[in-house]
Amino acid sequence: MKFGVFIYDGVEPIDLATFGVLSMARRIRPDIAITTLAPVAGPVKLANGLVVMAEHALNEAPPLDVLIVTGGPGWVEESRRPETLSALRVRAADTLLVSVCTGGMILGASGVLDGKRATTKREVVPPEEPPIDRLRALYPRIEVREASLVEEDRVITGGGVALCIDAMLHLLKRLYGGDVAAETARILEYSRAWSANLKEFPPLLRSAS
């Protein structure tokens, strides 16, 4: 199965834990393949200066089973890039879309969340406005919910920052089953944290009303 992680200038480096969780999961499921995407292939400067190489341009990438949209301060500019929004709309037809943190704001701008439940980052440094409030204000056609993640049929939106790990574990559970997700959490030494998050801040799943 092929996973693409979409990055752009200003992504928060912690959101690369999306790639990290999948990397660890490959020890259990070697069929997992991961690639990095960006508006343009090549170096991408993340928040606070970390430079990461993107293998493909988003609109030129090979077919993917899952496209993961990361978040960070650069979401504001990226949500205004017509080429990115168009590419996401095209991918939505045949690719499972997953956002983490403020990547949900980019999905919101693309229109693929219209008529769906969704979430995004909640906690900020004052006086910054919480992105989840901005999601409500900017995109009234989205049913914004407070949850660690929200699962719709073809779209999963994750909550803020470190919850990107939980979103990836949920994705593994959905695609490969609970045993693979649990074993990945174990080798990440994240089992206790995942269990606590599921209890204290549960996801909103497709079967929920």
pLDDT digits 0-9 by tens, 6-58: 999 999 999 999 999 999 999 999 999 999 999 999 999 999 999 999 999 99
Q: Is residue 6 part of a domain?
A: yes
Burial label, 17 (beta-carbon count in 10 A; 0-12, 13-18, 19+): buried
Q: Is residue 44 part of a domain?
A: yes
pLDDT at 209 exceeding the cut of 60: no
- Which CATH number does the domain housing residue 80 bear? 3.40.50.880
Average pLDDT across the chain, whole number:
97
Q: Is residue 207 part of a domain?
A: no
pTM of the model: 0.97
Question: How many CA within 13 A on the CB side of residue 149?
Answer: 27
**If pLDDT is split at 50, 70 and 90, which confidence band does 208 have?**
very low
Q: Is residue 184 part of a domain?
A: yes
Domains held by the chain: number: 1
Q: Is residue 209 part of a domain?
A: no
pLDDT digits 0-9 by tens, 115-159: 999 999 999 999 999 999 999 999 999 999 999 999 998 999 999
Report whether 16 contacts 70 (CB < 8 A).
yes
Range of the domain at 16: 2-200
CA dist 6 and 144 (Å) reads 23
pLDDT of residue 129: 96
CA dist 137 and 128 (Å) reads 15
Q: Is residue 143 part of a domain?
A: yes
